Amino acid sequence: MELSGNKYGAHRVIEPRGVLTQAAARIDNDMSKLYDNEILCDVSSLNIDSASFTQIEQACGHDEAKIARMIMDIVNERGKMQNPVTGSGGMFIGTVSRIGSKLDGKIDLAPGDRIGSLVSLSLTPLKIDEITAVHSSIDRVDIKGQAVLFETGLYAKLPDDISEPLALAALDVAGAPAQARKLPKEGESVLILGASGKSGVLCAWEALKKVGPAGKVVGIDLDPESLELARGLDIYTELISADCQKPAEVLEKALAANEGREYDVSICCVNAPACEMSAILPVRDGGIVYFFSMATSFTRAALGAEGCGKDVDMMIGNGYTKGHAEITLDVLRENRKIRELFDRKYV
């Protein structure tokens, strides 16, 4: 007989009781028992959140064997892939193995379907039997293991016209381009920090379409080689080189790129800490600052904006908004240059 599960997965929480799985220190990753509202998946790859992978990589001295051991240790201790330093996780791709009786026939999934999870690994019960490869350049690990999605868990069926590694790379940041489509208005100016990364590039295309020819999309990055790659995509009005951990430098260069005017929207996609003020300072009063990076500190953002007298609306990078998976995959379908870049860098 199947066990009855909580809608949000609280039945998998071991400690502390009373919280949901994302906030839990340890959750139950025993895959021998399937609850009636769970989807069991055989997992082939994990895309680790960029801020998390960067922290792990630095802690391990860029040694891939040590990276694999640290990831195994985290999952064995916590029952999920949640970096204890950054608090963030990532997402997986895998094959549906079993579907609980409460969901069977009521969702658009069947055993054998290939899916990508659209909820964080920081709340997903995960069991790793073996890590078969570490791909440090793209924050990915290939594994043999299993994961569980709850009835509220989001997922996307992997498309036939986009390769699995490419879909995994894009879906890992699906929340960002969908918000970049929603936030700006036609004719507005948008500043994107971390312009050459996955989320930055996808956001730029959506923002460029939204603001139209009368608007501006300015990108900031530090690495000259990455800036050249981004420049070749023709998705930015202008690209500037600046260190996003130095807000005074960013403010000066960003305003110069926008004819001295403050921006209507900024989107922070940088996977390093202490970039909050670089996203806040160039934005006008009443403008929007969207923090997609999991390296963001609420304390630094809130107190920093207060200290500078900035009346801006600050948004947490919720990884979900309606239609975000299709919006993200459509970018790859619409823009040949972005798709070719992703094929070179992430596949």
What digits encode the pLDDT tens for the residues 272-301? Answer: 899 999 999 999 999 999 999 888 999 999
- Judge if 210 and 118 occupy the same domain: no
pLDDT less than 70: residues of the chain: 1
Is residue 168 situated within a structural domain?
Answer: no
Q: Is residue 141 part of a domain?
A: yes
Domain coverage including residue 215: 175-346
Query: Is 286 inside any structural domain?
Result: yes
21 and 153: one domain?
yes
* pLDDT for position 345: 87
Say what the pLDDT of residue 271 is: 87
Residues 150 and 179 in one domain: no
Q: End of a domain among 158, 184, 216?
A: 158
Q: Assess whether 91 and 196 both reside in one domain.
A: no
The number of distinct structural domains making up the chain is 2
Inter-helix orientation angle 164-171/336-346, to 10°: 100
**Res 1: pLDDT:** 64
* pLDDT given at position 2: 80
In a domain, 236, yes or no: yes
pLDDT of amino acid 313: 98
For residue 5, tell me if it sits in a domain: no
Residue that is last in its domain, among 124, 158, 192: 158
Same domain, 338 and 215: yes
pLDDT at 5: 95
- Are residue 143 and residue 246 in the same domain, yes or no? no
Whether 124 and 21 have beta carbons less than 8 Å apart is answered as yes
> How much is the pTM?
0.87
- 244 and 130 share a domain? no
Q: How far apart are CA 202 and CA 180, in angstroms?
A: 9
Helices 198-211, 175-182: crossing angle, 10 deg rounding: 20
